[in-house]
Amino acid sequence: MEILWGSTREPGLNAALGEWVRIRIGLPRPFVSFTSLGVFADGELLGAAVFHNYEPESGVIEVSGASSSARWLPRRVLLELFSYVFNQLGCQLAVFRVSEKNTRLHRIMRAYGFDEYRIPRLAGRNEDQILFTLTDDAWRANGFHHEHRKGIDDGKISTQAA
C-alpha cells in the first residue's frame, strides 16, 4: 500500500485526487485551495482524502473522502492523515460532513472518537448530513495508535504534504 500526497508540489495529482473525490461524493463544484492524499495498492486508487476549508486562525480544517475499497483506511493511513491535520497544520479540530446513509463510516468514526451532530437538510431538502468532529485532544487519547504512547506524534511523522 502506498500513500501519495497531492499538493502545490504535485498539482496534477492533487487535481486528479480532488476530482475523483468530488465525483464520488456528488459535489456540484470542484474543491478550491486544497491538499489531497491518495491510497494506492498495485497501482489502483483505493481511496482519497481532500483537506479543504482550512481556517488557520481558528485551527479548523474540513476533510472529505471517498473510496473504491474498504481497504483504503488502515491505521497507518489514519495516522498519516491525522498527523497532517494535527501535527503539521497544527489544527485543533477536524470536521467531516458525512451522508446520513453512510452508516459504515459512522461506525468507524464513532469508534475513532469523533463527536457527531445531525444537521437536517444539510445535503438538500431530502437528506440530512452528520457533522463528525475530532479534536486534537480526542485524537491523541483515542488509543488507536501506539505511536501516541511512544511520543512519536509530536510532529515527527513524515507527511509529504505542502
- Structure confidence by residue, pLDDT tens digits, 102-157: 999 999 999 999 999 999 999 999 999 999 999 999 999 988 877 665 555 454 44
pLDDT computed for residue 150 by the predictor: 59
95 in any annotated domain: yes
156 in any annotated domain: no
81 in any annotated domain: yes
Cell numbers of 88, please? 503539521
pLDDT computed for residue 143 by the predictor: 82
CATH classification of the domain holding 33: 3.40.630.30
Could you tell me the residue range of the domain that residue 128 belongs to? Answer: 2-150
- Is 96:102 a contact under the CB 8 Å cutoff? no
73 in any annotated domain: yes
Cell numbers of 139, please? 485524537
State the Cα–Cα distance between residues 160 and 54, nearest whole angstrom: 18
32 in any annotated domain: yes
Q: Side by side, which strands form the sheet with 44-55?
A: 2-6, 35-41, 44-55, 60-67, 93-99, 129-135, 115-119
Length of the chain: 162
pLDDT computed for residue 118 by the predictor: 98
Q: Each residue of 34-90: pLDDT tens digit?
A: 999 999 999 999 999 999 999 999 999 999 999 999 899 999 999 999 999 999 999
54 in any annotated domain: yes
Total domain count, the chain: 1
75 in any annotated domain: yes
85 in any annotated domain: yes
